[in-house]
Amino acid sequence: MKDLFVKRFEYYKSLGDKTFSQLSDEQIFWQYNEESNSIAVVVKHVAGNMLSRWTNFLTEDGEKSWRHRDEEFVSAFKTKAEVIEYWEKGWACFFNALDQINDENLYTIIQIRGESHPVIDAVFRQLAHYPYHIGQIIYIAKMIKNNDWNTLSIARNKSQEFNNEMKSKFSGGEPDSNSSPVCFQNSPEVRDEYKQ
């Protein structure tokens, strides 16, 4: 189970990484308007959440006293490098926590803001939360880059071509119905875990 979590979250992190690689320092701080978040601010929130939720997650509440969530929505970074450094810090904390999950503690009850969650449910919460914000990061970047955006998924008007390639590559016919060509980046190693 742990390996599956790691693979899934590595994929979503990679989408953020590939997005940052397309952006300049100026672009990572761009805001549509004063009420909108820049990519830098979204990163500050995501990484702040990771650090709070997953530091000592088995023994401490996931909403740490040292976390100031409202401040996560105020830009404090000066450079793209600082944004990426904080992004990496959050992910390192999260992946370290995932590495601590095993069959014995998967259903152990932990606290988030005083609310009880089995460990597996806390992970599922973040499987919804982090990709939600990564989608925001990608959407903002696509607006900024416009025609210069390099797609991270199946290119527009290329779905049938992609489907044909996948059928040919993996089974010579229909692909496994439990696999996801987009989400698992054509990884046969991960796909095998889904075969029945």
Render 111-152 in DSSP notation, one character per residue: EETTEEEEHHHHHHHHHHHHHHHHHHHHHHHHHHHGGG---S
3 state SS of 7: helix
How high is the pLDDT of residue 196? 41
Nearest Cα to 55, choosing from 100, 20, 3?
100
How high is the pLDDT of residue 172? 56
For the cut 70, the answer to whether the pLDDT of residue 193 exceeds it is no
- CA distance to 50, 57, 60, 117, 120, per residue, from 113 (Å): 14, 12, 10, 10, 17
- Which is more confidently placed, 154 or 122? 122
Average pLDDT value for the chain: 89
**Spatial contact of 112 and 66, defined as CB atoms under 8 Å apart:** no
Q: Which amino acid is at 152?
A: L
42 confidence band (pLDDT: 50, 70, 90): very high
3 state SS of 90: helix
Percent composition of the chain: helix, strand, coil (DSSP 3-state, to 5)? 60, 5, 40
pTM comes to 0.83
- The per-residue pLDDT for range 105-125, each reduced to its tens digit, is 999 999 999 999 999 999 999
The answer to which of 26-35, 59-68, 146-155, 175-184 has the lowest mean pLDDT is: 175-184
Q: How far apart are CA 173 and CA 144, in angstroms?
A: 39
